Each structure stands twice: as C-alpha cells, then as structure tokens.
Structure 1
Amino acid sequence: MTSLVCEIPAAPSAIALVHFSNRLTFETDCSDVHGSYEAGEVDFVLLDVRGPLAFERGHVPGALNMPGRLITAETLAAYPKTTLFVVYCAGPHCNGANKAAVKLAVLGYPVKEMIGGVTGWLDEGFELSVAVARTANTAIGCEC
C-alpha cells in the first residue's frame, strides 16, 4: 500500500537540487533576517509593504514602511540598482509581498521575499516594534 505522500514520486535529486536552490534566490526567512540584524550584517533594505496603520501597530524592527502602491522609480531613486530589497507583508494569507517584489524587479532591483511575513516573525518568537513609523519615503527625504 502506497501512502498519500508517496503516491506521486519525489523528483530526482538533481531536479530537486535545482528547484530548491532556485527558491532560495527568491526568498529568505524570518530567522535569517533576525540573525542578520542581530549580527549587525544588514546588507539589504527591509520593506514592510503593508499600510501605515498596520505598520504602526507592529512591524519587524529595522523595517521601513513602503506600501506596494508607493513603490516607484521616483520613491526609490536614492537607492542604487544593486540594493537588495527584502519585502514582507502580513503573512502567508497576503500576496502584498509578491506584488511588491514584482514592482521592484520591474524597476531593476534585486529582491527577496521574507516568507511568513509578520505571522512568521511572531511564530519564530521574535518581537515586533511599535515605535513611530519610519517610511522609506522619509528615509530618502520625502515628507509624505
């Protein structure tokens, strides 16, 4: 008798290696983001792409708030095209991070999604910040 898991055979190891290696070029996880901040090795810009009210209620420490609708060439003009953006939204039930990643890629920026979003961050046991919102627009001098 074959289990439901084995009903469809696993991909050959060589194909699995390519698939899972490729996924890591598109995503990072909450633990890696947290570890990078803890080690002071932040070589990326973390963007919370939820709305300002959700951001103010709680966000990943160090994140800038830039809702997806504000991601434009103008709002990102101060960032070199080599800047890696890591985007996140509320969690697996939200596709805001995917939409933001598409916009960033169209604009020519490297981008990864922090899988799990706020939900994943909390599931890992990490704290959210509820400090005054810092927006990416403010960081680049806009009073929006």
Structure 2
Amino acid sequence: MSKTPSPVAAIPAAASADALAHFEARLTFETDCWDTHDALSKGAGDFVVLDVRGPALYAAGHIPGAILLPHGKITARKMSEWPDDTLFVVYCAGPHCNGANKAAVRLAKLGRPVKELIGGVTGWLDEGLVLAKGEAPSSVAEVEGA
C-alpha cells in the first residue's frame, strides 16, 4: 500500500547546492527588520532607509531615521543627493504592498545598490519595534543634521 506524500513533500526539496545558491542570493536582495533595527540602533551609517509610501502614511508612523521618498519620486536628479555607492533599504506598508518592489526597480535601473526590507511597516511592528511619528524632514541635509 503506497502512501501519498503530503503537499510539503510532494515536490522534492532542491539539491543542497541549489538551495545554498538560492538562499545566499536572497540575502543580496533583502534584509529583515531586526537586522535593520539593530544596525540603526548601533549608529550604522553604511545604508539609507527610504520610506517609499506617501507623506500622510509617513507622518502616521515610520521607521526611525527613514527618509520619505515615495517610489514615484525616485529619479536620477533626486538620487544625486547621495554618493553613487550608497546602499538603500526600501520599505512600504508590508507584504501586501508592492511599493518597495517598485522603488527597488527604480533604484536598480539607476544603478544604485538596493535591498528590500522584508515585511515593511507590518514586519517592523510584528517584531515589536516602535515607529516614529511626524512630518518628513524637508531635505537630506535636515535629516543628516547639517
């Protein structure tokens, strides 16, 4: 008597070498909320967090230190405010939103290094992390305290 495999086992797992390549590659495209929070809390200056939603959502709650830059406003001119090798971490509302993906596409087309923050605001809150509230700074210089 043969037993039908579960839906999990019905499709065999990838070969270990293929799985390793896949999961290592994912880390080049994504970062998670905890790693981002930990780096920000330790003063990491090797990336910039972009909130790619609109101003009202940003004001209602955003990742502390994030810069408001809606994905539709990501242009070569706007990005020239940062050095070409600046790594950007983009986020939107959460897994139900594709704004971060759209932002990542725009940044990649401009030749900019980019990672998507897995989970966005939803993931941030799920991790028990706190959002900042308030209007966006009017310039990069204001964000950087210049």
TM-score by length of 1: 0.93
Which of 64, 76, 101 is residue 79 of structure 2 equivalent to?
76
Distance in 2 between residues matched to 1:126 and 1:78, nearest whole Å = 29
Q: Does 1:64 align with 2:64?
A: no
CA shift, 1:38, in A, is 1.4
CA shift, 1:98, in A, is 0.4
CA RMSD of aligned residues (A): 1.2
Distance in 1 between residues matched to 2:37 and 2:104, nearest whole Å = 20
Q: Does 1:9 align with 2:6?
A: no
Distance in 2 between residues matched to 1:34 and 1:116, nearest whole Å = 13
Q: Which residue of 2 aligns with 1:139?
A: 140
Distance in 2 between residues matched to 1:72 and 1:28, nearest whole Å = 23
Distance in 2 between residues matched to 1:13 and 1:134, nearest whole Å = 47
Q: Which residue of 1 aligns with 2:118?
A: 115
Distance in 2 between residues matched to 1:133 and 1:15, nearest whole Å = 43
Q: Which residue of 2 aligns with 1:51?
A: 54
Q: Which residue of 2 aligns with 1:30?
A: 33
Aligned length: 139
CA shift, 1:140, in A, is 5.3
Q: Is the 8 A contact 2:48 2:86 kept in 1?
A: yes
Which of 39, 42, 52 is residue 39 of structure 1 equivalent to?
42
Deviations 1:39-95 (A, max 9, x none): 112310100000000000000001000001110011111211100000000000000
Q: Which residue of 2 aligns with 1:105?
A: 108
Distance in 2 between residues matched to 1:79 and 1:107, nearest whole Å = 12
Which of 7, 20, 23 is residue 20 of structure 1 equivalent to?
23
Distance in 2 between residues matched to 1:51 and 1:31, nearest whole Å = 24
Q: Is the 8 A contact 2:92 2:121 kept in 1?
A: yes
Is the radius of gyration larger for structure 1 or structure 2?
A: 2
Gapped runs of 5+ residues in structure 1? Answer: none
Distance in 2 between residues matched to 1:14 and 1:39, nearest whole Å = 34
Instruction: Specify the code of the residue in structure 2 equivalent to 1:118.
Output: V
CA shift, 1:132, in A, is 2.8
